[in-house]
């Protein structure tokens, strides 16, 4: 199972692309690329005076990126997520009748995921098409209305709300992480999510999507915290209060009735190599103050939430006076 390092999120994702699009002094190649998903064809490069040989040299040195068959990005791809974004926009340009969607759409919107998709994901935009067209690897049916499509630097992509519905139909962990981030950042609202859910009535997985997306909370501050909340919900724990203040300190998950605080990924703070001693002291002092206010403090890390969840759940259940799970 993944650990916290396997959760893909880029906190400065919009800044990266905005910096390329608005680079000063202006770069004619990037200026054009920023209107076409940051990927260009050989013909478009030639129109700017860039030969195939020059483009090959730059991709060889890693300053440019091969985005897909026939497309080059005039920028580096520093992470797998950046590389997938460029591959997805290249696929979107090859199939202008479709729109980037699902996990690829989440990548472009900068939403966290459990991992980078293996191939670009697109959805047909024409409701009259009843099946996936030939040779459409990663292309799904489940048509997109015009108002469910937005533009990411000139390439069609499903809106954040529609993206959340598609994620939630297929993967609950991806969905809760992305949904919490989207509502926190103002990319989606309960109303826009509900509208997307209504349009998906009757599709496979939509009931699951409705259940998961109902849990979206703008107060969730990390992907692992989001998954922890989903795990607790699935096992019948009472819902926690998020980002509570106790004794002047803010805690992740709190149940005042049970006098319990659950800190997510907290133990990493104690074991991180090279962590500043002052930071460690403040963290211990924070926990001491919370305990002084009558709260029990428990901590979970990624291993506890993923592979070790049955043991974690069994440990927490007596605190809430919940019966032991059978099986």
- One pLDDT digit (tens) per residue for the chain, 327 residues: 454 445 777 778 999 999 999 998 999 999 999 999 999 999 999 999 999 999 999 999 999 999 999 999 999 999 999 999 999 999 999 999 899 999 999 999 999 999 999 999 999 876 544 444 433 456 666 678 899 999 999 999 999 999 999 999 999 999 999 999 999 999 999 999 999 999 999 999 999 999 999 999 999 999 999 999 999 999 999 999 999 999 999 999 999 999 999 999 745 444 444 446 666 667 778 888 899 999 999 999 999 999 999 999 999 999 999 998 765
Residues of the chain within CATH 3.40.960.10 domain(s) are: 223-320
Cα–Cα distance measured from residue 254 to residue 240, given in angstroms and rounded to the nearest whole number = 5
Task: Give the pLDDT confidence score for residue 285 in this predicted structure.
Answer: 82
- Give the pLDDT score at 284: 79
**Domain 223-320 belongs to what topology?**
Endonuclease; Chain A (3.40.960)
What's this model's pTM, rounded to 2 decimal places? Answer: 0.89
Could you give phi then psi for residue 61, rounded to 5 degrees? Answer: -85, -5
Query: Residue 109 and residue 159: Cα distance in Å, rounded?
Result: 9
Question: What integer pLDDT is reported at residue 222 of this predicted model?
Answer: 92
Look at residue 327 in the predicted model and tell me its pLDDT.
Answer: 59
Q: Bridge-partner residues for 124, per DSSP? A: 98
């Amino acid at each position: 199972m993944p650990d916290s390092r396997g959760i893909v999120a880029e906190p400065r994702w919009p800044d990266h692309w905005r910096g390329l699009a608005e680079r000063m002094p202006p770069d004619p190649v990037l200026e054009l690329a920023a209107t076409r998903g940051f990927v260009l064809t050989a013909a478009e490069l030639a129109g700017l005076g860039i030969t195939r040989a020059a483009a090959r040299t730059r991709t060889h040195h890693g300053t440019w990126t091969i985005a897909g068959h026939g497309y080059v990005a005039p920028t580096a791809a520093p992470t797998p997520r950046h590389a997938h974004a460029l591959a997805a926009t290249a696929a979107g340009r090859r199939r202008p009748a479709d729109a980037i969607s699902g996990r690829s759409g989440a990548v472009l919107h900068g939403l966290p995921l459990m991992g980078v998709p293996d191939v670009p994901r697109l959805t047909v935009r024409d409701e009259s098409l009843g099946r996936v067209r030939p040779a459409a690897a990663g292309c799904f049916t489940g048509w997109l209305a015009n108002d469910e499509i937005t533009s990411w630097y000139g390439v069609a992509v499903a809106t954040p709300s529609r993206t959340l519905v598609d994620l939630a139909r297929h993967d609950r962990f991806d969905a809760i992480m992305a949904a919490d981030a989207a509502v926190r950042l103002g990319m989606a609202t309960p109303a826009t999510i509900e509208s997307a859910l209504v349009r998906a009535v009757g599709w496979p997985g939509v009931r699951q999507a409705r259940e998961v997306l109902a849990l979206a909370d703008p107060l969730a501050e990390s992907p692992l915290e989001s998954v922890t909340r989903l795990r607790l919900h699935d096992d019948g724990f009472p819902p926690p209060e998020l980002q509570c203040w106790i004794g002047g300190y803010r805690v992740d998950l709190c149940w005042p009735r049970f006098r319990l605080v659950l800190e997510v990924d907290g133990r990493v703070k104690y074991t991180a190599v090279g962590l500043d001693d002052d930071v460690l002291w403040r963290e211990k002092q924070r926990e001491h103050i919370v305990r002084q206010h009558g709260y029990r403090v428990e901590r979970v890390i990624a291993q506890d939430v993923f592979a070790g969840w049955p043991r974690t759940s069994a440990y927490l259940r007596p605190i809430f006076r919940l019966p032991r799970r059978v099986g």
